[in-house]
Structure 1
Amino acid sequence: MGEVFTHRLRVRYSECDQQGVVFNGHYLFFYDVALTELWRALVGEYGEMVEDGYDLVVAEARIRYREGARFDELLDVSMPVAHLGTTSMTVRPVFRVGERLIADGEVRHVFIDPASKAKREMPARVRSALRPYLDGTGAAPSA
């Protein structure tokens, strides 16, 4: 298994629902924050990629909820890269508070030309940066 990038967030009160747990819709937002930080750490400035004629869009997203994270807990979002295709990539985020599995899922992204919105081949520098983080298993995280 390759390396796994992990980003830590603190759950804010405004992200919790009336039951006192993180509202389900926030997990994709948390994923987006972690993906932005992964990109910044491994690939570089996202805006430079867009200026070079590449953008990244979500084509498919699935989150499986296991247990609710709560206000002020530290939530670790691990970002194993499950697939690097020709024009797409798949990340299987895992959300944990300590040893507790909170949620997991799968998000498929497609590289596009920002002007035409047509699919584009993944930039070589992106592939090189993400390859060490490719988990190689193709399997969903276990519970």
Structure 2
Amino acid sequence: MKTNKNYIYETRMEVRDYECDIQGIVNNANYLHYTEHTRHRFIRSLGVSFAELHEKGIDPVVARMHLEYKTPLVCDDEFISRLALRKEGVRYVFTHDLYRAGDERLCFHAEVTLVILTNGKLGPSKEYDEAFAKVIPNF
């Protein structure tokens, strides 16, 4: 696994006590919430409204996830969620790297593949392509 230096978005978050398990570390499922929250903030920063697109029948859905847990986060850790994006055919592949803020140690790495369903059918999305072209030239 190689960390990606072509990040196009980042946001900071903090681990909350209820996200930790009996061992005092973040429960594995919560890392998925962190990556989803990062994608939502990123897409919203581009002026895209999930609700408006959904009303038009345009829905992004997760098709695949590859996850790597590196260093556990614990209660009150502040972390930086960084995101990169590439397109493969009709798929949008998001790279997510979560770093502990205090020492920039990689805690979690994920490749999350999204596809767009328009009125229930898989296909390209002019709306998402145009939004992502704002931050990735020649997208």
TM-score by length of 1: 0.83
The answer on whether the counterparts of 2:24 and 2:74 sit within 8 Å (CA) in structure 1 is yes
Q: Distance in 2 between matches of 1:2 and 1:131?
A: 15
Q: CA RMSD in A?
A: 2.1
Among candidates 120, 123, 135, match of residue 123 of structure 2: 120
Aligned partner of 2:105 in structure 1 is 100
Is the 1:54–1:120 Cα contact (8 Å) retained in structure 2?
A: no
Displacement of 1:31 in angstroms is: 0.8
Gaps of 5+ in 1: 136-143
Match for residue 18 of structure 2?
Answer: 14
TM-score normalised over the length of structure 2: 0.85
Q: 1:89 to 1:43 in 2, by over 3 A?
A: farther
TM-superposition CA deviations, 1:52-109 (whole Å, max 9, x none):
221100000111010001111112111111x224422000100011211101010000
Letter matched to residue 17 of structure 1:
D
Paired position in structure 2 for 1:46? 50
- Whether the aligned pair in 1 keeps the contact of 2:7 and 2:82 (CA below 8 Å) is no
> What is the deviation of 1:20?
1.0
Percent identity (aligned): 23
Runs (4 or more) in structure 1 with deviation over 4 Å come to 132-135
- Distance in 1, matches of 2:11 and 2:18, equals 20
Structural mapping, 1:1-143, within 5 Å: 4-81=8-85, 83-98=86-101, 99-113=104-118, 115=119, 117-123=120-126, 125-131=127-133, 133-134=135-136
Which protein is richer in strand relative to its size? 2
Please list every run of 5 or more consecutive structure 2 residues that lacks an aligned counterpart in the other structure: none
Aligned pairs, how many? 132
Question: What is the identity, as a one-letter code, of the residue corresponding to 2:57?
Answer: G
CA contact (8 A) 1:2 1:132 kept: no
